[in-house]
Amino acid sequence: MSLSLANLEHLYQLPFNVLIKQAHDVHQHHHTANTIQLCGSLSIKTGHCPEDCAYCPQSVHYKTYVTKEALLDPDDVLKVALYAKTLGVTHFCLGAAWSHVPRGSAFQKVLEIVREVHGTGLQVCCSLGSVSEEQVESLLAAGCTTYNYNLDTSPEFYPKIITTRAFESRYQTLQMIRKSNLKLSCGGILGMGESIADRLKLIYLISQLSPQPEMVPLNALVAIEGTPLGQKSFIDPFEYVRIVAIARIAMPKTIIAMAAGRYKMSLETQALAFFSGANAIYIGERILTTPTPDLNADLNMLTKLGMNVHEYNIDIRQ
């Protein structure tokens, strides 16, 4: 039974220790204790995105450190994927700065990339922008297991962040993907200036997808110079952990991934997030265009916390 928005608002007001203990109990009931899935990602087509997302250095509307790069060759992607696998990565995301997934030769090249990465035994996730039903089926046939399409924030705050795509259009695309045989990854970004109510509305709407997503990546805004949000301060760690806990309680079976911004979090913040239900992290050099923590630091952290690397292969529809 899904929780109402009022339920989530009540949970958020609980004392911090009470909330994260409740989330921890839910997590322990549905997932293997003290285990983390390692995820990797690669931007296979970088920069020059036509969308105006205020947080994104890849937008053509802003002047940032990101420069336009062509779609990578399958062999180059394969090398990165194989290296990621040696690090213990089991879920590998292919990202591309497109508004809509292109057709023709570019899409055929993407399918070739998916087939190559799938051949390594990795779970393949694609994050390529808006996608058609036909393209979803082609990606599935090529070996893609999951499609990432984030809501980003609440419908009320959304127009302050993105004007080139309506929230309703994004939500309709999500519902179409959810009806396919692809698993779904859907999350958002915290710390863009949104209210607590916006954050809870985001989690509520994601949790209302039927069935709920297999993965929810929770990104903390990394303010990039040149973007409209370039001067935003980093999210308060307790506020971030509270949303992790809310997401875990609202979506008990889902993999909750700590994504962009984790490199700016202390070990203590990450430990609290794990206790509250986070059970996946992204490792490697970067998450598409933002840095990740040093690999050795991550491995030392997992050792200190007694965490084990574990491959989750959840399909909530089963």
The CA-based diameter of the chain, rounded to the nearest angstrom, is: 54
| Residues 154 and 194 sit within 8 Å (Cβ to Cβ) | yes
3-state secondary structure of 138: helix
Please give the DSSP secondary-structure letter assigned to residue 226: T
Model confidence at 46, pLDDT cuts 50, 70, 90, reads confident
Q: pLDDT averaged over the chain?
A: 91
Whether residue 193 is predicted with pLDDT greater than 90 in this model: the reply is yes
How much is the pLDDT for 287? 55
Distance CA 51, CA 58 (A): 9
Alpha-carbon distance of 301 to 205, in angstroms, equals 33
The pLDDT of residue 50:
82
- In tens, the pLDDT along 222-264 reads 988 889 998 999 999 999 999 999 999 999 999 999 998 999 9
pLDDT of amino acid 315? 84
Q: What is the pLDDT of residue 82?
A: 93
The tokens for 276 are: 């509250």
Region 100-110 average pLDDT: 89
Distance, CA of 56 to chain centre = 14
Query: How far, in Å, CA of 175 to CA of 196, rounded?
Result: 25
Supply φ then ψ for residue 266, to 5 degrees.
Answer: -70, 165
Structure tokens at 184: 């779904």
Q: Which residues contact 149 (CB under 8 A, 6 or more apart)?
A: 127, 130, 131, 170, 173, 174, 177, 184, 185, 186
User: Is pLDDT above 70 for 291?
Assistant: no
Neighbouring C-alpha atoms within 13 Å toward the C-beta of 155: 10
The full DSSP string for 180-191 is: SSSEEE--EEE-
Under the banding of pLDDT at 50, 70 and 90, the label for residue 316 is confident
DSSP class of residue 164 equals S
pLDDT digits (tens, 9 = 90+) for 255-290: 999 998 999 999 999 999 999 999 999 987 655 556
Task: Report the alpha-carbon distance of residue 150 to residue 79 in Å, rounded.
Answer: 27
What mean pLDDT do residues 184-210 have? Answer: 97
pLDDT of residue 288: 58
Q: Which residues contact 124 (CB under 8 A, 6 or more apart)?
A: 92, 94, 114, 117, 118, 143, 144, 145, 146
Phi, psi angle pair for 55, to nearest 5°: -95, -10
**DSSP label at residue 140:** H
Closest CA to 171 of 213, 139, 205, 135: 205
Separation of alpha carbons 227 and 55, rounded Å: 6
Q: pTM here?
A: 0.93
27-42 pLDDT, tens digit per residue, is 999 999 899 999 998 9
The predicted model gives 175-194 an average pLDDT of: 95
Phi and psi for 26 in degrees, rounded to 5?
-60, -45
For residue 178, pLDDT beyond 70: yes
Amino acid at 79: K
Residue 67 pLDDT exceeds 80: no
The answer to whether 98 touches 45, Cβ cutoff 8 Å, is yes
Q: What mean pLDDT comes out for the span 106-113?
A: 94
pLDDT mean over 182-188: 96
pLDDT for 34: 92
What is the average per-residue pLDDT within 143-163? 95
- The separation between CA 74 and the C-alpha centre of its own chain, rounded to angstroms, equals 23
Q: Give the pLDDT score at 59.
A: 77
Q: What is the mean pLDDT of residues 133-156?
A: 95
pLDDT above 90 for 1? no
User: Does 101 have pLDDT greater than 90?
Assistant: no
What is the rounded distance in angstroms from the CA atom of residue 275 to the CA atom of residue 120? 32
What pLDDT is recorded for position 21?
97
65 — pLDDT class (breaks 50, 70, 90): confident
What integer pLDDT is reported at residue 62 of this predicted model?
80
Check if the beta carbon of residue 70 is closer than 8 Å to that of residue 49.
no
What is the structure's pLDDT at 299?
87
Distance CA 58, CA 96 (A): 10
- Name the nearest CA neighbour of 237 among 268, 260, 216: 268
